[in-house]
Amino acid sequence: MGQPRLADPGQDGGRPASGPAAADGPDRGSESPGRSRTRGARARWPAPAVAGLVLLGLGLLRAAPGDGAAARAVILATTTSTEDSGLLDVLGPLFERRTGYPVRAVAVGTGAALKLGADGDADVVLVHAPALEREYLGKGVLIDRRLVMHNDFVLVGPPADPAGIRRQSTGRAAGALGQIARTGSRFVSRGDRSGTHLKEQALWKAAGVVPGGDWYVESGQGMGATLTIASEKRAYTLTDRGTYLAFRRRVELRIVLEGDPALANVYHVLRPDPVRVPRVNVSGGRAFEDFLVSPAAQAAIETFGVAEYGAPLFFPDAGKPEPE
């Protein structure tokens, strides 16, 4: 079964990334460098300490000596999927070459990325949680939301498929999660208010399940780390297709469900309202927004992953109608 489409058909592919990353506190939707935890034993790094490191790093970037107005770095808050897949390694240098602005990416969960933008600690935000994005738009702290691209989420699990997901006939993600809960099969959640975590929560709700117990583990980490933990625990997890493909040679996990329209994964770009947070790099943030929906960036998105996987990792959507 193929993935849900907004427009063009195809399959996703990807590769691992090696760009800069930063972490925020897990209570703000972060990719904190902690260990896996169950719902009953939440072992985390202290959120204030981790958040402080992120904000300190951003402050150093903003205050870099010798930066003129034209060369002031653009701070991009984005999701780990854009970094773990390697997409930022393509888009970042292309943006710098075309505009002269250096770009510095902070890869965290969508919840943390949106908050960084709303607080004025990022100049532009690239995320994938439409309902949460609309909350920030409604508050007026983030503006100018534009559709950039999409791919999809997939449910992955151990090759033995102990919950029998591949044998179910409905092909619905909510039904698959319900089956995982009924059989007590282990599931690893990101547990970080990232776009992936929010999608997972919506699916549990649709399944009529409140997840918890020994079978349900929260990693509190990014997608690549969560896939690794799920593999080690022979567990299921929800992932964006691109990160899974980038990690599939390193983990013992297989796609057990795909193609449900509920698994569409849509990315938008937004920026802070400069009236509310005037300290942001307004021209740089707007330049990055314009770049993401430009023909050059959309072409780069369309071809990313084709050489390695024979199909693109993301599908460009600039100028198309909103799917929601």
Inform me whether the pLDDT recorded for 88 exceeds 80.
Answer: yes
Q: pLDDT: is 17 or 79 the higher one?
A: 79
Q: What is the pLDDT of residues 229-276, one digit of tens each?
A: 999 999 999 999 989 988 989 999 999 999 999 999 999 999 999 999
**Residues 36 and 217 sit within 8 Å (Cβ to Cβ):** yes
Architecture of domain 26-151+266-316: 3-Layer(aba) Sandwich (3.40)
- Those residues whose C-beta lies under 8 Å from the C-beta of residue 6, and which sit 6 or more positions away, are 150, 264, 266, 315, 317, 320, 323
Percent of the residues in the chain that have a pLDDT greater than 70, as a whole number = 77
- Would the CATH topology of 26-151+266-316 be identical to that of 152-263? yes
Q: What is the pLDDT of residues 18-31, one digit of tens each?
A: 333 333 333 333 33
Q: What is the pLDDT of residues 117-152, one digit of tens each?
A: 999 999 999 999 999 999 999 999 999 999 999 999
Superfamily of domain 152-263: Periplasmic binding protein-like II (3.40.190.10)
Buried b (16+ CB within 10 A) or exposed e, 223-245: bbbbbbbbbebebbbbbbbbbbb
Entry pTM: 0.77
Inform me whether the pLDDT recorded for 41 exceeds 70.
Answer: no
- Those residues whose C-beta lies under 8 Å from the C-beta of residue 132, and which sit 6 or more positions away, are 110, 111, 114, 195, 198
What are the boundaries of each domain within the chain?
26-151+266-316, 152-263
